[in-house]
Amino acid sequence: MFVMAVNVVDVSRSPYASLRPVPLDSVEVVSGFWGRWVNEVARVAILHQYRMLEESDRLNRFRWVSGRTSVRPVNSLFAFDDSDVYKWVEACGFYLAKREDEEVKGLVEEVIDDIVAAQEDDGYLFTEHHGAPERRWKNLTFDHELYCAGHLIQGAIALHRSIGEEKLYGAAVKLADLIARTFNPDGIRGVCGHPEIEMALVELYRETGERRYLETAEFFINERGVDSLRPPAEDKLNSTLYRILGGAEYFIDHEPIREMSEIVGHAVRALYLNCGVTDLYMETGEKALLDAMERLWHNFVEKKMYITGAAGSRYVSEAFGEDYELPNERAYAETCASIASFMWNWRMLLATGEARFADVMELTLLNSILSGVSLDGTLYFYMNPLASNGGYGRSPWFPCACCPPNIARLLASLPGYFYSTSKNGIWINLYGSSKATARLDGVDVAVVQETDYPWRGEVKLTVEVEEPAAFSIYLRAPGWCDDPRVRLDGRAYSPRPSTYLELHKRWSSRSVVKASFPMRVKTIASHPHVRNNISQAAITRGPMVYCLEDVDNKVDPRLVAVERRGGFRERFRKELLGGVMTVSFSAATINPREWEGRLYGSLESMRLGRRVRVEAIPYHAWANRGDSVMSVWLPFIDYWREASQRRRR
């Protein structure tokens, strides 16, 4: 094994990063809630997806163009299908960082051979246009050439960092060099319809130290927003497609990045672009970039984010809607968009050291990201709606298969997000049983988390040092927690929610920090401008959002209404869904009988039926028992009475 420092985002030398990640190979997540996801599920997903890549002809695309197969890959439909392979390779890269897994290693090496064999002499690598130089870079709007290149570069970097892989890495560098030669002020002035290359090039700059990659990333960011992606009017079909999808806004090409104040367009595109912009900021320190990111973040979190952390309100264009446009059944909430938000918030956390970004990471991870994969790792969601009338289930793969390998690379890299360091100490970003080691001012420090998080809010943190040293432990007080409590050396702290509590002292040998983040069942409302949630409540407990699924209940979740007197009872059910904390309560039911055959009627037709006891499960675990009827938001029948009692007179 190498001496490694495997980071997803390696800002260890970035001048404008506030935090440095503790590399994922320095973190062990072996037990507890995350142990299963990071180890078992990630492996199952990687092996399952390998079979899918074969069956769906994704690998055969590469073999076909290089002549390694003579069977035309008819099951792969999209120009961007190469990227599914690259993301899977990236997942393998992170997965192999700490594990000797010959099966996975063998598979990824074969795949690398197939990929590299498809590279053209000058470095070009995009199977859709293989051997057709006249088609290169001609349809930047829709072709996804640079998008695929970005994923190739990220995949190659992951393997390079984790197992010192050189072959794919060399191919990626060669492609990046071609891109840098091609796109610049004296070359093609254009950008990719789907952002992604930006963050990949910044990362390649970090890996190689070659400034031209950073400059190319900056070029793409600067060229964006000048309407260069609009197809020529005479190209009627592409023009129609462009218009239907939402025009310049869909491509985040409607306005220069530094001027943006509203997050719009295709959610994954927008959030990947923000990753690249934040990465660029950490290298250049240009304030206008961070200011724009702050504006977009506030717009996102305060007006466009689902309570599960998900992003994207609109079908077809897979896009952000207007402020407060957050439909539940028709939430698009693509798994990739949640992952993209996680990736962006991670970069914002690294840039600023502010806990609010880690709060969004946690929320998104535990709810709208985990909902994207079945508990066993082999079935996926593309959309993650907040309510379902049934008929929507998980799939082992998709014709457009961006989400499954995105989940795999995230799970495989997850330990890399738990901890970070600054010059003053170690930061605990995410909670879960784990162990991290880091070197601070020449002293090796080990931090061990023991906790039943996210089911219980007690965290025991053991800090061990080789030799006494003064530094700080920064402990995130989660934003969802009203009364965080921390104890160290007999002293009690009550940090403000959504901040990092700094515990500074001279640590010697072994110290124990005890944190308590009481998890209470809450009923949450949304801003009154979210009209479809008016008079409804969502049930949360700690960082988890809950939902009612029909399989657990005798009544259709769409006919359940929460009452204040419902008496919430929490119970850990280890036999259910791999072990989950459920929340049960007594609920009112809506009697639908008066409504048969009618869509509209007198208010008097609304009547309540008998009370029932219902049981809610964590949202992320829904749809693991077949198609179901599900709802996160539930009518809250004391809503107006309580709001009236609080009337301002």
Distance of closest approach, residue 551 Cβ to a copy of itself, in angstroms: 19
Q: Can you tell me the distance from the alpha carbon of 278 to that of 349, in angstroms, rounded to the nearest whole number?
A: 10
Closest Cα to residue 222, out of 134, 286, 157, 310? 286
Q: Which is nearer to a copy of itself, 321 or 454 (CB)?
A: 321
**Is 532 one of the binding residues for a copy of itself (CB under 8 A)?**
yes
Burial class (CB in 10 A: 0-12, 13-18, 19+), 646: exposed
Closest Cα to residue 335, out of 405, 383, 274? 383
Candidate residues 581, 588, 616, 630; the one interacting with a copy of itself per rule CB under 8 A: 588
Q: Compute the CA torsion angle 581, 585, 590, 591 (nearest 10 deg).
A: 110
Distance of closest approach, residue 135 Cβ to a copy of itself, in angstroms: 13
Candidate residues 132, 241, 492, 512; the one interacting with a copy of itself per rule CB under 8 A: 241
Q: Which is nearer to a copy of itself, 181 or 295 (CB)?
A: 295
The number of residues that bind a copy of itself (CB under 8 A) is 81
Candidate list 148, 402, 403, 481, residue with the active-site label: 402
Distance of closest approach, residue 558 Cβ to a copy of itself, in angstroms: 6
Structure token pair of residue 215: 């400059």
Q: Which is nearer to a copy of itself, 348 or 637 (CB)?
A: 637
Residue 451 is which amino acid? T
Closest Cα to residue 38, out of 379, 418, 412, 454? 412
Helix or strand or coil: residue 605? helix
Helix or strand or coil: residue 515? strand
Q: Can you tell me the distance from the alpha carbon of 44 to that of 412, in angstroms, rounded to the nearest whole number?
A: 11
Q: Which stretch binds a copy of itself (CB under 8 A): 106-114, 440-448, 574-582, 641-649?
A: 641-649
Candidate list 128, 223, 318, 362, residue with the active-site label: 318
Distance of closest approach, residue 304 Cβ to a copy of itself, in angstroms: 8
Q: Can you tell me the distance from the alpha carbon of 356 to that of 367, in angstroms, rounded to the nearest whole number?
A: 17
- What are the CA-CA distances from residue 270 to residues 189, 289, 405 (Å)? 20, 14, 19
Interacting residues with a copy of itself between 435 and 474 (CB under 8 A): none
Interacting residues with a copy of itself between 597 and 636 (CB under 8 A): 597-610, 631, 633, 635-636
- What are the CA-CA distances from residue 165 to residues 27, 127, 160 (Å)? 21, 22, 4
Distance of closest approach, residue 568 Cβ to a copy of itself, in angstroms: 13
Structure token pair of residue 69: 């197969």
Distance of closest approach, residue 76 Cβ to a copy of itself, in angstroms: 12
Interacting residues with a copy of itself between 9 and 68 (CB under 8 A): none
Candidate residues 18, 31, 208, 389; the one interacting with a copy of itself per rule CB under 8 A: 389
Q: Which is nearer to a copy of itself, 5 or 534 (CB)?
A: 534
Within 13 Å of residue 89, how many CA atoms lie on the same side as its CB?
Answer: 34
Residue 189 is which amino acid? R
Structure token pair of residue 41: 């599920």
Q: Which stretch binds a copy of itself (CB under 8 A): 280-288, 520-528, 565-573, 613-621?
A: 520-528
Contacts of residues 602-610 at CB distance under 8 Å and 24 or more positions apart, as own/partner, are 608/561, 608/637, 609/559
**Is 3 one of the binding residues for a copy of itself (CB under 8 A)?**
no
Interacting residues with a copy of itself between 549 and 578 (CB under 8 A): 558-559, 561
8 Å CB contact between 417 and 348: no
**Is 639 one of the binding residues for a copy of itself (CB under 8 A)?**
yes
Contacts of residues 596-604 at CB distance under 8 Å and 24 or more positions apart, as own/partner, are none
- What are the CA-CA distances from residue 109 to residues 39, 82, 167, 409, 480 (Å)? 20, 16, 9, 17, 43
Q: Which is nearer to a copy of itself, 313 or 451 (CB)?
A: 313
Q: Which is nearer to a copy of itself, 94 or 639 (CB)?
A: 639
Candidate residues 595, 612, 625, 627; the one interacting with a copy of itself per rule CB under 8 A: 595
8 Å CB contact between 172 and 204: yes
Candidate residues 138, 189, 211, 527; the one interacting with a copy of itself per rule CB under 8 A: 527
Measured in whole angstroms, the distance separating CA 267 from the mean position of its chain's CA atoms is: 12
Here's the x/- map for a copy of itself, 472-511, by CB under 8 A: it reads as: ----------------------------------------
Q: Which is nearer to a copy of itself, 244 or 492 (CB)?
A: 244
- Phi then psi for residue 264, to 5 deg, are -135, 170
Distance of closest approach, residue 321 Cβ to a copy of itself, in angstroms: 8
Distance of closest approach, residue 534 Cβ to a copy of itself, in angstroms: 5
Q: Which is nearer to a copy of itself, 148 or 159 (CB)?
A: 148
Helix or strand or coil: residue 581? strand
Here's the x/- map for a copy of itself, 245-284, by CB under 8 A: it reads as: x---------------------------------------
Distance of closest approach, residue 494 Cβ to a copy of itself, in angstroms: 19
Helix or strand or coil: residue 372? helix
Indicate if the alpha-carbon torsion angle 382, 150, 101, 429 is positive or negative: negative
Catalytic: 318?
yes
Interacting residues with a copy of itself between 289 and 348 (CB under 8 A): 298, 301-303, 305, 307, 314-317, 321-325, 327-330
Burial class (CB in 10 A: 0-12, 13-18, 19+), 597: exposed
Candidate residues 13, 211, 240, 572; the one interacting with a copy of itself per rule CB under 8 A: 240
Residues annotated as part of the active site: 318, 402
